[in-house]
Copies of this chain bind each other. A is one copy, B any other.
Amino acid sequence: MLDNLQKFVHLKRETAEINLDPLQRGGILTPEAREALMEWGDGYSVCDFCAGILDRIKNPPIEDFVHGALPEFLGTDQVRITHGAREGMFAAIHALCEKGDWIVVDGNAHYTTILAAERAGCKIEYVPSSKEPDYAISAEGYADAIERAYEHKGNVSMAVLTYPDGNYGNLADAKAVAGVCHDYSVPVMLNGAYSVGRMPVAARALDADIIVGSGHKSMAASGPVGVIGAADEYANVIFRPSSLKKNKEVELLGCTVRGAPLLTLMASFPQVVERVKRWDDEVDKARWFSAGLEKLGMVQQGDRPHNHDLMFFLAENLYEISKTAKKGRFFLYRDLKERGICGIKPGLTRQFKLSTFGLSREDLGKALAAFEEIIESHKQGAGGKETS
């Protein structure tokens, strides 16, 4: 096993010119982040002048970032760096909930919310979404879910809203959700993996008590790295100091991201702050692209008009093509790749998600043209066979 190790070296990434993967669009590094990777790549590079607390390091200016810029950016009292949104959610749940407690979670939640709750030994009561094509999450649904948990004699110790969710890109009315949950004295955590760093989102303005974000998903950082913000009332529990080791926060195991991913997060931050201001244009682009795909016969699900770059489409026409195309359901992946486009999962045709975030209208136009060409090319062939 320990021979032929060269297969782990000099690996090249196969990627296309235009990448529509929602998971990847917000994590593309800025040139400044690439520079930071090279400068701070070595393990523990940020610890040269550490006095024992990662987020208090002054050189590089991590303290200013974590205690100055990030609380302002997230609209919250206190912030810490995490390994990612999921690790932030687990830290909050683990710190604030007891084993056996109930957590109320939107039905569109990312699987990691469920795993974070399961890992902490908590039970889950879902807030179901409305039916297709909207898949909407309502504030009233949270009241119903909390009531159902009470019927199990459960203690409801947290509510989570995925804002937006990672399937449909739906932005529920977070403030209304928080209002309902607060009526029951249940704190609200926003999973902002797809919002923080893409769009304006301030926890305080949405009455959210806790917010998590993802550096590699939406803040142009080389992950894994994320942020967790919380109002003082909860921050003081989540970030509680160890009773055994001075100056070390238990829930973070002392320090979290002590290396290059954090410096890439910092290096991209000025551009992230700027791009968030251009969110309206991102939404316009998304709607324009969605309209273009719908003209070609696909149907966008979720919020309409859509308010986020992440969109989910049904494509019965592509599914029909897949029944007879060479390579079957992999035809779409292959045909798009031939046209310099990637990011839709290999094998998907009947339904898929994509993102327009950070792509120019020119590139999005190329993507629309590619879809059109592909559909046309499969029409021309007899019995749906391809011509190329």
Interface of A toward B, CB cutoff 8 Å: 1-2, 5-15, 21, 23-24, 26-29, 32-45, 47-49, 59-61, 64-65, 68-69, 71-73, 83, 86-87, 90, 94, 99, 111-112, 114-116, 118-119, 124, 214-217, 220-224, 242-245, 248, 250-251, 253-254, 256-261, 263-264, 266-267, 269-270, 273, 342, 346
Query: Which residue of B has the minimal Cβ distance to A24?
Result: B44
Beyond the given A37-B222, A90-B253, please list 18 additional residue pairs across the A-B interface where CB-CB is below 8 A: A1-B71, A2-B73, A5-B270, A6-B270, A11-B36, A11-B61, A15-B48, A28-B42, A34-B41, A42-B222, A43-B222, A44-B216, A44-B223, A87-B253, A111-B254, A118-B250, A222-B260, A223-B260
Contacting residue for A1 out of B2, B68, B115, CB 8 A: B68
Residues on B with beta carbons closer than 8 Å to the beta carbon of A242: 114-115, 118
A52–chain B nearest beta-carbon distance, Å: 9
Query: Are B41 and A118 in touch, CB under 8 angstroms?
Result: no
The answer to whether residues A8 and B258 also contact, given A24-B47, A115-B242, A250-B115 and a CB cut-off of 8 A, is no
Residues from chain B with Cβ under 8 Å of A251 in the complex: 119
Cα separation A386 to B270 with both chains bound (whole Å): 45
Interfacial chain B residues near A14, Cβ < 8 Å: 48, 59
Q: Is the CB of B60 within 8 A of A11?
A: yes
Question: What are 20 of the A-B contact pairs (CB < 8 Å)?
Answer: A2-B69, A5-B273, A6-B270, A8-B267, A8-B269, A9-B32, A9-B266, A9-B269, A23-B44, A24-B42, A24-B45, A26-B43, A33-B41, A41-B264, A43-B220, A48-B342, A83-B224, A115-B244, A118-B243, A260-B261
Complex Cα spacing A224 to B8, Å = 19
Residue in B7, B221, B266, B342 whose beta carbon sits within 8 Å of that of A61 in the complex: B7
Q: Is the CB of A45 within 8 A of B13?
A: yes
The one of B27, B86, B99, B224 that contacts A224, using a Cβ cutoff of 8 Å: B224
Question: How many angstroms between the C-alpha atoms of A32 and B11 in the bound complex?
Answer: 10
Query: A250 CB to closest chain B CB, in angstroms?
Result: 5
**How far is A216 from B10 in the complex, measured between Cα atoms in Å?**
19
Say whether, besides A45-B24, A99-B99, A114-B244, A40 and B69 are in contact (CB < 8 Å): no
Min distance, Cβ A59 to any Cβ of chain B, angstroms: 8
Minimum Cβ distance to chain B for residue A56 (Å):
15
> A28 to B38, alpha carbons, bound, how many Å?
12
A83, B86: Cβ atoms closer than 8 Å = no
> Assuming the A-B contacts A87-B253, A224-B256, are A35 and B23 also in contact, with contact meaning beta carbons closer than 8 angstroms in the complex?
no
Residues of B within 8 Å of A1, CB to CB, are: 68-69, 71-72
